[in-house]
Amino acid sequence: MSDEQVWRGVQALLDDYVGIVGGDRVLLLYTSDSQRSAALVSAALELRGIGFERVWMAPLHDPGFAERLAAALPRPALLTGRLVVLSFERDTFSHTGALNDALSAYPRDRQLVFRSNSASDSLFADALRASPAELSRRNAAILERLTTASELRITTRGGTDLAVTLDSAKHRWISNRGRARMGGTVILPAGEVATFPARISGVHVADFAYNVNAITEDDVRLDKTPVTIEIVDGRVVSHACDDARIARFLDQCLTTHCAYNIGELGFGTNFRIDEPIAMNSHINERRPGVHLGLGQHNQDPGVVGYQCAIHLDLIARGGLITIPGAVDPIDLEALVPSDAPHPTSTRDEDVFSPDVLEIEEGDCCGLLTDGVLTPCVIPALVESAGAGG
């Protein structure tokens, strides 16, 4: 990718996603691994004469973050325009509670929050080049057909063949399209629709990439060594991969409590994303194709009867969705955008922090190194364990 492509993506973030205008006040949050992303956006804001503050944060655990955040925020009485929060992290989704507490002092109809946990040049050069308007039309094209369907068959060139039952009256659909909503949170990159499959069985071949809620430097591409899983009644009963590192990771992951459950049926819609990147990220997940999320589900607490620390997406390239009785299947790589209004009953967010969901670990499920997954060290838990020992 070129610097020009990256810079165009920065401008697209400000124009197409945020709709930045004079009088806006921007708060840039970033972790050390995302410093370049924050610097690029800072430069673009300076050129436009938009006021902003930058706040560094440590991922997962940062006792001083709330204080630094409070010092950077304008006094509510002095805020004349919108308060725009742009948060960049690479692997984590941190400090949701502290951020929500700080923003509670401001009117919800004056604040916009955009959070990315895939900060990189690829985020700008590829993913953000698809505008919210374009993604909204593609998401609507899937939703208008699937929300009224009950049975699906999903196939891919790589070998996926799944029989799926949907219950849209019980299980909510998520539509991440990057559309700004005052008082809401936009997760970037955008371009996905997803739900919980009421029933699912068959074979899934992930020949694009995987994405796991863990901190890792491992190469997550699967285009040369696909992962194959067999599913019976919503549970993974067998798995295989020719790559020893990935096979070892799957062995360990699928022995974790509830990680063998299929918690998500997802369809990527971001047509600007073509080839997989090595970095563990939501960018790969947004590529047009079908992916299955193992472990943690995407529904409200109580709708699905379990919580899981792990969420592992196994992503296939492309896919055909066949609805019994329909004339044409949905081709995810040749999706015809819809001119119909986007449904209003979907949820925007598809990433959740343990600040708002009670799961078993911290902001991610652990550290993944060379195929070995170990829990993140959470200082409060360490101190508690030390006191009790």
Predicted confidence band of residue 263 (pLDDT cuts 50, 70, 90): very high
Residue 358: predicted pLDDT: 33
- For residue 107, is pLDDT > 60? yes
**Alpha-carbon span 359 to 356, nearest angstrom:** 9
Residue 88: predicted pLDDT: 98
- For residue 61, is pLDDT > 50? yes
Q: Which residues contact 215 (CB under 8 A, 6 or more apart)?
A: 59, 91, 92, 364, 366, 367, 368, 376
Structure pTM? Answer: 0.88
Mean pLDDT of 112-135: 96
The proportion of the chain whose per-residue pLDDT surpasses 70, expressed as a percent, equals: 88
Secondary structure (DSSP) of 332-353: TTS-----SPPPSSSB------
- For residue 92, is pLDDT > 90? no
Q: Which residues contact 388 (CB under 8 A, 6 or more apart)?
A: none
- For residue 240, is pLDDT > 60? yes
End-to-end alpha carbon distance in the chain: 52
Say which residue, 374 or 129, is predicted with more confidence. 129
**Alpha-carbon span 128 to 44, nearest angstrom:** 15
The proportion of the chain whose per-residue pLDDT surpasses 90, expressed as a percent, equals: 72
pLDDT digits (tens, 9 = 90+) for 27-46: 999 999 999 999 999 999 99
95-99, 107-111, 206-210: which has the highest mean pLDDT?
A: 206-210
Strands (E), 97-198: 111-116, 151-155, 161-165, 174-176, 185-188, 192-195
Say which residue, 272 or 355, is predicted with more confidence. 272
Burial (CB < 10 A; 0-12, 13-18, 19+), residue 255, is exposed
In b/e form, how buried is each residue of 313-323, taking b as 16+ CB within 10 angstroms?
A: bbbbbbbbbeb
Residue 361: predicted pLDDT: 30
Residue 308: predicted pLDDT: 86
Domain covering 3-127 in this structure, CATH number: 3.40.50
pLDDT digits (tens, 9 = 90+) for 147-172: 999 999 999 999 999 999 999 999 99
Residue 386: predicted pLDDT: 34
Q: Is 94 helix (H, G, I), strand (E, B) or coil?
A: coil
Longest dimension (CA), the chain: 65
* Strand pairing report for 83-88 and 25-30: parallel
Cβ atoms of 108 and 183 closer than 8 Å: yes
User: Mean pLDDT, the chain, as a whole number?
Assistant: 89
- For residue 355, is pLDDT > 50? no
Q: Pinpoint the residues of the chain covered by CATH 3.40.50.
A: 3-127
Predicted confidence band of residue 357 (pLDDT cuts 50, 70, 90): very low
Predicted confidence band of residue 244 (pLDDT cuts 50, 70, 90): very high
Mean pLDDT of 166-182: 92
Residue 294: predicted pLDDT: 95
CB atoms within 10 A of CB 357: 12
- For residue 362, is pLDDT > 60? no
Cβ atoms of 99 and 85 closer than 8 Å: yes
CB atoms within 10 A of CB 278: 13
Residue 85: predicted pLDDT: 97
**Alpha-carbon span 183 to 347, nearest angstrom:** 14
